[in-house]
Structure formats: structure tokens, C-alpha cells
Structure 1
Amino acid sequence: MALEDKKGSDLDAHEHDIFAMVETQDSPTSPPAFIIDGGLHGCLQVLGAFLILFNVWGINFAFGTFESFYALTYIPSFTASSISWIGTIQSWLLIACGIFSGPLFDRGHYAVMLLSGSVLAVFGFMMLSLSHKYYEIFLSQGVCMGLGFGLLYTPSIALVSRSFTRRRALALGVATSGAPAGGIVYNVMFNQLILKTSFAWTVRIMGLVMLVLFTVAAVLLFSQRKAMENIDESRPRKLIDLRAFKDLPFWSFTLANLLIYLGYITPYYYIPTYAQTTLHTSQSLASYVLVISQASSIIGRVGTTCLAYYYGSMVSWILCALLSGILCLSWISANTLARFILYSAFYGGISGALVPLPPSVFSHVCPDSKSLGTWFGMAQSISSIASLTGPPIAGALASIGSRSSKNLNFLGIQLFGGITMILGAFELMLLWYLLRKTRDKKGIF
């Protein structure tokens, strides 16, 4: 759902992390320096961003399959908590690097970041194929790939956002749909290849696919060289605005987002492991349960967008956070394969909206539309701690009383994920109250 600020810029609900690096505000008298807004050039640009997000978030969404393989087969001597740090450091770097890649994008260096980020990501994947020890996997898959993804994610979204006006919502919706699509494809690839060849060649083949997609994306986006190197120096962007630290709604939003993200990502890391160790499914079937969850999240995002259109983003966000927490607690009773598949599908469908809804609410949190990007970037940087620490904390709780990753105490994971998301929902209710009192916001916005 698109929201308009006082100068007419629409900030779409699908634009996750866009505010952190783009603050384009169109003026009737001074149009943006470079607008595509449709046509062949616009389609090529959206397709290029789609392929980049296919790789960047697709590998992140597939980490649950890697986690299960590492814990049960490849490096079983390490705890689930230790292994989850590999994925969380990758996710954290992906988001946190936006603080630096955003300003570099504004200065017209996207082409350099596209090449260097792609090389880093593919190099990390190829080094992973040679890794046998924990620290080698951590450095290649966690740090190297995370840094490469961090140079690509934020600028790619910013490029599409800056180049469209009326069709921005549609363009971003198509581009960001590459994320769950990539998660499905890379999960299926790993699941099929690992049965027919070694881990090393499985990773190499996936890396080659990533290289091909990055190459195609580069060809498509280099055809938009003018848009890539366009520099807007009319409004220099600050990294930090000290006024936000004194604002109560800002902290309420940040705390709510942090609590929700502590629980939100955790089930995706442990769904395959639970299916294999507790329900005794095959590795292939366990991976497909995760695919079902990710596929349903695509449907869920569309449905909750419609809900937000009619009932407001604040109501939708509260309901999705509360229901996601309840569903995570209901995982406790999913002691058969049929129940677990049903839980995974519903959780993916409901929780998928927890990513696109926060930006649409934050436009009501920030009192100054000119500082919207800076404030949101600060809030996201603080909240990203949850992506870094959530799964390892859950894994540590699951390891209490267990002897190895093959007999984890999943009750700790289920309670941790459910309780944190429910607490986040209550914090959102407090945020709603604060906005009505301090920002004079009426209705359900």
C-alpha cells in the first residue's frame, strides 16, 4: 500500500529498508533528475533487481536447509546455536551494510557495488565448497557472502524506487517477489543435488547459478547506466539524527520491531531440523516443508496488503504479529507430519507480512518527512540486532538438557519465538496509543 508524504512521494508497504537510503521527494516544479516509470527500460531494470534479490534473499531463506545439514551431517559436533550464527551474521551484514551502501549509491557508485558485491558473494559460495571446518564455513558463508549481499540489497531496491513514480508500488512489488522465489528454488536445488552428489559440488552448482543470474542482472542494469550513476546532491543524507533518540514513539517502534524479529526468523532456521529429528522425516521432505512455508508467505503478503488497504497498516501489523506469536506457540502441538505442514503453511502466510508493514507505519512515527530516511535507517539498524541474535538465542535454549543437535529441546525455540512476537504485538499497541497522543493521529491509519 502506498502512502504519500506532504510533497507527494509514495512510500510503498513493499519497500522494506528503502527509507534507509532513498529520500526522493518530487516537487511539481523540479522533477526528479532521472525517471523511467515504465516502458522497456523500466521492465529491464525491475527484472535486474528481481534477479539480484532472488540471489541475495533466496540464499538467506534457504539457510534452514543448510542449518539442518550442518547440524545433523556435516559438522554435528557443533551446537545448533553455534551453527545458526553463520546465517544470522549473513542476514545482519545484508541489512547493516545499507548504512554505507546507501550513501555510496547516492554518490553514483552503484555500478562498482554491483560488480564487487557479486564477486564477493560468488567467491564466498565457492570458498564454502572447500570448507570443512566451522570457522571456514563461518567466514565464507557468513562474513564474505554477507558483505557481498550488503553491497547489493539496499542499492538495488533504491534504484527501482528512485526510477519510478506512479508505478513505484507495482515495480517494487515485482522486484521484491524475487526474494521468496529464490528461497524456494535454492531450497529445492540443495535438496535434490545433495542426494546425487557431494556437498562441495552441490554448493559449486548453486554458486554457478548465482553467477549466471548476477551476470544477467548486471547486463540488464548496465543498460540503465544513466540511472545507476545519477547523483542527487540537493539533499545530503545524514546517517544519524539525535532528535530520534529523544522521541518516545521512535523507541516504541524500534523495540516492537526488535521483539517481533527476534521471534519471526527463528522458525525458518529450525523447521527442517524439527522435521528430521522429531518427526523422523527424510532430509528431502524436511526441506520441502520449509519450501511450503516460504511459498505460502507470498500469498500471505498479498492478502495482508489488501487487509492494510481497508483497515490500516497499524491494525494489520498488530494482528499479524499477534497471530504469528500464537502460531509459533501452537507449534508445540504439531507432533504429526500433517499438523506440522499445516503449521508451517499458516505461519509462513501470516508472518510474511511482518516485513513489508513496518515501513508503512513508520511514516506516521517520524514527525519530519524530510528526516524519514534517516530515522528509519536508525530504527532498522537497531532492530537488526534481532536478526543477529534471535536464532542463536533460540538454539541455546533448545540445547539445554540435550546431548546433540539430534535431540534438541524444541520447546525452548517455540516458547522463545511465540512470546517475543506476542510481546512485540503489545508494544505495537503502546505505539498506537503514543501516536494518537503525541502525533495527534486519529483513526486506524
Structure 2
Amino acid sequence: MSEPPLVEVCQGDAIADTKLEEGLRTTTSTSQRLTITAKQAEGKYAGWLQVLSSFLSMMNSLGMLNTYGVFQSYYTTTAQLGSVSSVSWIGSVQAFLLLAVAPVCGRLCDAGYPRAVTRFGTVLIAAGLLACSFAGRSYAAVLLLQGVVTGIGLGCLFTPAMTVLPPYFIGLRAFALGVAATGAAVGGIVYPVMVRSTLDSYGYGWAMRALIFAVLATQLIPCLVLQRKSSVPVRGLDANLVELWHWKQDLLFAAYCGGIFLVFLGLYVPYFFIVSWLGDSGLDLGFESYYILSIMNAGGIPGRLIPSIIADVFRAPLLVQVLNLTIGAGMTIGWLKMRTTGPIIVYAATYGFASGAFLSLVAACVASLTKDMRYLGARMGLTFAVSGLGNLVGNPVAGFLSASYGYEAAMVWSFVGLLVGGSTVVAVELCR
């Protein structure tokens, strides 16, 4: 028998959602909850097709951002575009815009245009990297093309990938988002090795063009099939941008956004600076230093899956997120004493696990603080924009501290951001 049309499957999911919500409210057994979920709502073709699409978009957005440590090292040593602090602005602007465009992209997703946003982002990434491949010796050109143009393109892939999934899933929501988020880890494993190898063998221009070919090939599926669940009402672009929620829930959401901002002040410091730190410190790992970035991203694969399963079982994504922040903060301060290969590899893998878990659970946490899914895109966009602001501030500050006082100061900065931000998220969980 042929598969039913995608829209009909989505409409069938809508009927199941109502029954599922009732079942989850009246069922106390965790195993029964997950059984109901799998049968009624989350074994559907449409939902898991969106997971695949989101996986690929995450690989080409956050996964590409996780590759910037290789470019940071290349721009400061081989290309000599500037100091560590000035070059870090390229990656920081890219990271900021990936998240800062989220309110606009999220609003367009609420209006029913996630696929159009994804297509636009794919074109921007290809155009930015292609132009950058011919202008790699100019700091201003790289900042504009890789930082601004490509950064906006990455954001146009990232926000739809995270926004379309939650309505398709309830009991397995965090797990589905975690599976999609592993795309970022896969991209963070593959792209650094690909870029570094191409840089060494064929030069900067072809390294950028290789990224373009990879993005265009893997974005074909999201550009064709990514879509909102049809049972969620579409908010027209003329609708109000602001919705008044219950004051307590609104206050908790605002506090959560504040905690996210503080966390992002330090979250990406290890990703941006670990390769440069290894090169400047003269440590011999027995392999090329850029592989440590792939190890860190590899740790993010189980980090995005295992905590997501735990969050679904206990229905506590905020609590699981806090636990992983604690692990990440502890490992970051431990970085100060690491001078041999074994501990550095353990640190990279563990920090990748903890940071990957935190990132994959952001969307699930926002969804848990949102009652009306019509406004999920707007709320998700606001959260990501706040995250982007933290990235924009945090990484250049870390670059300044490392240049002025050594990498130890940058590590302490990262630790403080994770610790204070994590404490804020703890307060949100306790007040729910």
C-alpha cells in the first residue's frame, strides 16, 4: 500500500494529540506514558521526516559554527588577519547572527513559512562562503561575508529546525529534539577535519567551496520537506507580535532567558579557543590539534541523546539541563590544570557531552514554558536572540582576556558564565 499524503498524516496526528494529552494527564506509569506516545503520536512518518530534515539543518548551521575553531587558528597564524581577540569577532558575529535572527525567523515559521526561510538561508550560506573564498586575505571582507552574510544564513536554517518539531511530539519531545540536535555534533565532527584537510591540500578557496558543496547536497531534503504541523493554527503576519501570558509563567520565561544569556557568555569559549590554546602552549598530543575539536563535538552526540531520553522519562528538561551545566562548569575550571593528552581528550569529550545536552534541551525547555504552541516560534526566537547576544559579548571578552592575561583568564570567564547562568536556571526550575 502507498503511504498516505503528508498533510493527511499530520492531520491524523492532530487527533491523536488530544487523546495523548488526556492520557498523559491520567497515566502515572512512565512506561505506559511512553507506550501511549509511541503508538498514538510519535511513530508517524511525518514527525520523523521532520526530525531528519531538522538533523540536516542543524548539521549545516550549529555544526558549521562549531567548526570555527579551525578558522580561528588559521586566521591568526597562517592568514595573519589580526590578533586572537580581533579574529574572534568573526566567529562571534556569526554565532550572534545565527541566534539573533531567530525572532524574525521564528515569527515567519509561526506564519507558515519555515521551508521558505530554510531555502533563503541555504542560498545565503552558499553565497557568503563563495564570495569569502575569493577574499580570504582581507579581515573586513571575511568579517562581512563569513561573519555577517553566512551568520544570517545559518540562523535561517537553525530556527526553523528547532521550531517545527515540538508540536509533532509530546512524550518523546526532548528525545526527538535531541536526535535532530545530533546533527550539530555530526557537522562539528566532519567539517573541522574536512576544512583542515582541504586547507592543507588545496588552500583556503577550495576549503570554502568544499563547504558549499556539502551544504547544498545535504540541504536538499530540508528545502523540500520541512514544514509546520498542519494542526497548529497559523498566525498571520498581521497578527499581534506580543501575547500576554499568565504573569507567573511569563516571569519564569523571562528569568530563563536571562539565565540563557549568562550561560552563552561562556558556553562557546572552549569551542573557539581550544585549538589556538593547544598551538600556543606547544603541547604535543600525538595528533593534529584540530582533531580535539572533532572529539569535543563527538562527545555531543551521546550528550544530545542520553539526557534527552532522561528528560522525557522524568518530564524534567530544565532539571536535566541544570545537571549538565554543572558538569560543563566543573570540567571548564578543571581545564586550568590539564597539560597531558589523556586529560585533555577526556575534558574535550566530557565538555562536548555536557554542552551538547544543554543546547539540545533549550527548545524542549522553552516548549515546557509555553502553553499556546501558536506562539512557540516567537518565544523560541526570543530565547535564541538572547543567546546570540551572550555569544556576541562572551567570546570577544574571552579573546581579550586570553591576549592580556593568558588562556587561564578566558577559562575562568567561561566558568563564571556557566555557573551564574546555571544558578538562574535552577531558580526557574524551583519556582515552577
TM range (shorter): 0.7 to 0.9
| Structure 1 CA distance for aligned equivalents of residues 139 and 246 of structure 2 | 40
Task: Deviation per CA, 1:362-413: give whole Å up to 9, x if none.
Answer: 4665688876665554344334311221111100111115xxxxxxx10111
Unaligned runs of 5+ in 1: 12-34, 402-408, 436-440
Alignment partner, residue 98 of structure 1: 102
Alpha-carbon distance in structure 2 between the residues aligned to 1:294 and 1:270? 14
Query: What is aligned with 1:321?
Result: 325
SS in 2 for 1:301: helix
1:429 pairs with one of 418, 421, 426: 426
Residues 107 and 232 in structure 1, CA contact (< 8 A), matched pair in contact too: yes
Return 5+ residue gaps in structure 2 as ranges: 1-16, 25-39
Cα distance change, pair 306–164 in 1 and its aligned pair in 2 (3 A) = closer
Bigger CA drift: 188-197 or 107-116? 107-116
Q: Which structure 2 residues correspond to residues 275-286 of structure 1 after superposition, within 5 A?
A: 275-281=278-284, 285-286=288-289
Mark the CA change 1:192 to 1:67 in structure 2 (over 3 Å): closer, same or farther. same
Q: Distance in 1 between matches of 2:146 and 2:247?
A: 34
1:63-107 CA distance string (max 9 Å, x none):
11111111121125x122221221122222222222112232333
3-state SS in 2 of match to 1:174: helix
CA offset digits 1:278-306 (Å, max 9, x no partner): 13448962111111111012112333234
Q: Deviations over 1:192-228 (max 9, x none)?
A: 222212111121122222222223543x42xx78979
> Is 1:74 aligned with 2:79?
yes
In the TM superposition, what are the counterparts of 1:300-315 in structure 2 within 5 Å? 300-308=303-311, 309-310=313-314, 312-315=316-319
AA of the residue aligned to 2:90: I
Change (3 A) 1:211 1:374: closer
SS where residue 53 of structure 2 aligns?
A: helix
Equivalent of 2:264 in 261, 265, 278: 261
> Quick one: which of 227, 240, 245 aligns to 2:242?
240
Task: Pick the aligned partner of 1:189 from 186, 194, 208.
Answer: 194
| Corresponding residue for residue 17 of structure 1 | none
- Residue 277 of structure 1 aligns to which amino acid in structure 2? D
Matched, 1:381 2:394: no
Q: Distance in 1 between matches of 2:165 and 2:288?
A: 37
Match of 1:416 in 2: 413
Following the alignment from structure 1 to structure 2, what is the Cα–Cα distance between the partners of residues 357 and 202?
32
CA, structure 1 residues 169+344, in 2 after alignment: closer, same or farther (shift >3 Å)?
closer
1:142 equivalenced with 2:147 (yes/no): yes
**Do 1:240 and 1:375's aligned partners in 2 also have CA atoms closer than 8 Å?**
no
TM-superposition CA deviations, 1:217-270 (whole Å, max 9, x none): 43x42xx78979x97249986433477999653443222211111111111101
Distance 1:328 1:6, change over 3 A: farther
Tell me if structure 2 keeps the 8 A contact 1:321–1:421. Answer: yes
Provide the rounded CA distance (Å) in 2 between the counterparts of 1:53 and 1:389: 23
Mapped to 1, the partners of 2:367 and 2:80 lie a distance apart of: 45
**Equivalent AA in structure 1 for residue 58 of structure 2:** L
**Cα gap change, 1:368 to 1:39, in 2 (>3 Å):** closer
1:54 corresponding residue in structure 2: 59
What's the RMSD between the two structures over aligned residues? 3.7
Q: Deviations over 1:149-208 (max 9, x none)?
A: 222222233344455677755654433321111111111101222221211112112222
2:346 is aligned to: 342
2:93 corresponds to which residue?
89
CA distance in 2, matches of 1:49, 1:361: 18
TM-score normalized by structure 1?
0.77
Report % sequence identity. 28
